[in-house]
């Protein structure tokens, strides 16, 4: 088990390091791709499935996606210094769990991320910021944000499968 934890930690660090070394244009391209990919997941789930929970203990499909949006705002606000359009509010707690409202909120969070990344000068990407008590370069925090949104989008695959829906095909490029 310790080896597995080590390998997962090593892989996460390696991916963050590679992401942090990409050009700003490459990072923006990846965020735009992630937005399209997430939209495909949002579109795949019928409106009636947005309040679906795979088990009572976990988030609904909408809550997973709105949590993704909350984190997008948190991470990229920290990187850019721009306040979240939600202020201190949580999308997960304040946005209606409807297909229309959830999709709008999540897509707006990606637009915020892309705009925030565009606004940070390349020379500032190695500046240290603090998030969740950790001091990291802005470029690494952008990578962590990307990892987080990928993780939560991936979690929604099971929601689609349990509803008998084939998840969107992988969009690597």
pLDDT in tens, 83-139: 999 999 999 999 999 999 999 999 999 999 999 999 999 999 999 999 999 999 999
Domain residue extents for the chain: 2-162
Residue 73's CB: how many other CB atoms inside 10 A? 25
Gap between the Cα atoms of 37 and 147, Å rounded: 14
DSSP 25: H
Structure tokens at 139: 């470029």
Angle between helices 138-162 and 24-44 (to 10 degrees): 20
CB 32 within 8 A of CB 114: yes
Residue listed under structure tokens 């925090």: 141
Is the predicted pLDDT of residue 59 greater than 70, yes or no?
Answer: yes
The CATH architecture that domain 2-162 belongs to is Up-down Bundle (1.20)
Gap between the Cα atoms of 22 and 29, Å rounded: 11
pTM for the model: 0.88
Chain centroid to CA 156: 12
Which whole number is the average pLDDT over 65-85?
97
Structure tokens at 117: 């990344």
CB 132 within 8 A of CB 105: no
């Amino acid at each position: 088990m310790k080896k597995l934890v080590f390998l997962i930690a090593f892989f996460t660090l390696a991916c963050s390091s590679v992401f942090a070394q990409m050009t700003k244009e490459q990072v923006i391209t990846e965020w735009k791709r992630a937005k399209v990919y997430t939209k495909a997941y949002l579109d795949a789930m019928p409106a009636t499935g947005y309040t679906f929970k795979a088990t009572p203990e976990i988030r609904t499909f909408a809550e997973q996606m709105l949590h993704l949006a909350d984190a997008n705002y948190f991470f990229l606000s920290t990187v850019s210094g721009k306040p979240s359009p939600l202020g201190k509010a949580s999308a997960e707690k304040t946005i209606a769990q409807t297909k229309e409202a959830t999709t709008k909120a999540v897509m707006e969070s990606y637009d915020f991320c892309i705009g925030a990344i565009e606004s940070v000068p390349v020379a500032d990407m190695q500046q240290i910021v603090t998030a969740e008590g950790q001091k990291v370069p802005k470029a690494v925090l952008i990578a962590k944000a990307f990892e987080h949104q990928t993780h939560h989008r991936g979690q929604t695959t099971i929601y689609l499968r349990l509803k008998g829906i084939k998840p969107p095909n992988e969009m690597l490029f």
